[in-house]
Amino acid sequence: MNNSFVNLVAIQFREFIREPSSLFWALLFPIGLAGVLGLAFAEKGNVTNRVAVIMNSYSQASKKQIDFLQRDATFDTRFVFKDASRDQAFTQLKRGAVSLILEPLPAGKFSFHFDPQNEAARMQYLLLEKKLQQTPEGAVAEIHPITTQGSRYIDFLIPGMIALGVMNSCIWGIGWGLIEWRIRKLLRRMIATPMSRVEFLLAHFVTRLLLCLIESVSLLLFARLIFDVTVQGSNIALFAVYLTGVAAFGGIAILVAARPQKTQIGSGIINMVTLSLMILSGVFFNYTNFPVWAARIIQFLPLTLLADGLRAVCNEGAGLVQVVGNCLLLLAYGVICFWAGLRVFRWH
């Protein structure tokens, strides 16, 4: 092997280790991401499933059987039973906090309520039904499949996918677009013209809002035709949550794009923001899988606020009053991030 080849390899290696951002994205970010996922799914090596138990006139008589289910360690899957009224149990199901509802019946029987299309719910039912057969009373289980709109897993998923689409469209569309303009020296040319810098950034936001609307309406129409997903709440509330969500991620995109001058740094920052929020904010699963202290923080993240607001309107029939808190927090994210991004924005 000649010395020139060895020197070329050494040059590439030195160039890599001398760039702090490359070291961060190659080494530290994957470790941090693995740690976050570990918090959510690796609690003591066991899978934790939360089941809502409807409290009714038969609950006291079934208490011994439920206690047996909770302390039995036959399987590697751990169950946590949460007492709730009937309405509360089905609300938790709509929000994805539980996948299965257990309802005590007369004569030591139990009724299971779950979406038959939800693989996790079916597995939970099979495990619990087998455990029930091992109780001293030998309880009988009945199945009540949930097929009503708003309570299925697909009803939980679609609003989350719309929220995810808004985030990716804004941060990649606005943020990456502005970073590319800076790298290609186009921003330098733009500020040489008699334009308002605020108007320039707002124009990107308005363009992205219109494109996001087309993308989200298309997804909602597809879900309506194929899966019969409907909006059960106020259309005004839905639009308010959606508009403030676009405003939030539009502002975040401006802040993300404010300083990077290299594609590696820009794509790294964007991936860090989008991947972290996608994992944390409960797009595909409810964020209550995380520890309680973490869930209290996650509920105020922008993607969580947007997804929860959309689900409240679509699945729970919420109106504008019920989602006004989400809207105000999302708007605050947008205004603060836009102002901060404008203050530190690098135009050349």
235-285: pLDDT as tens digits: 999 999 999 999 999 999 999 999 988 877 888 888 889 988 988 888 888
d(CA 348, CA 343): 14
Which of these three, 90, 113, 145, is where a domain ends? Answer: 145
Read off φ and ψ for residue 69, nearest 5 degrees: -60, -40
Same domain, 86 and 157: no
* 243 and 212 in a common domain: yes
Asked if residue 249 belongs to a domain, the reply is yes
Comparing 95-104, 159-168, 260-269, the range with the smallest average pLDDT is 260-269
Evaluate if residue 50 carries a pLDDT over 80. yes
Residue 113 belongs to a domain with what CATH number? 3.40.190.10
Domain limit, last residue, from 145, 161, 184: 145
| C-alpha separations of 290 from 179, 187, 255 in Å | 34, 42, 28
Q: Are residues 123 and 183 in the same domain?
A: no
- Virtual CA dihedral for 15, 20, 22, 26, nearest 10 degrees? 120
**From CA 58, how far away is CA 13, in angstroms rounded?**
69
Q: How confident is the model at residue 73 (pLDDT cuts 50, 70, 90)?
A: very low
End residue of a domain, out of 99, 127, 145: 145
User: Who's near 263: CB < 8 A, 6+ residues apart?
Assistant: 179, 183
The length of the chain in residues reads 348
The overall average pLDDT reported for the chain is 83
Is 49 part of a structural domain of the chain? yes
Q: Which domain holds residue 331?
A: 153-344
Residue 90 vs residue 263, higher pLDDT:
90
Query: How many structural domains compose the chain?
Result: 2
Q: 182 and 201 in one domain? A: yes
Q: Are residues 93 and 165 in the same domain?
A: no
pLDDT of residue 219: 92
Q: Do 211 and 328 share a domain, yes or no?
A: yes
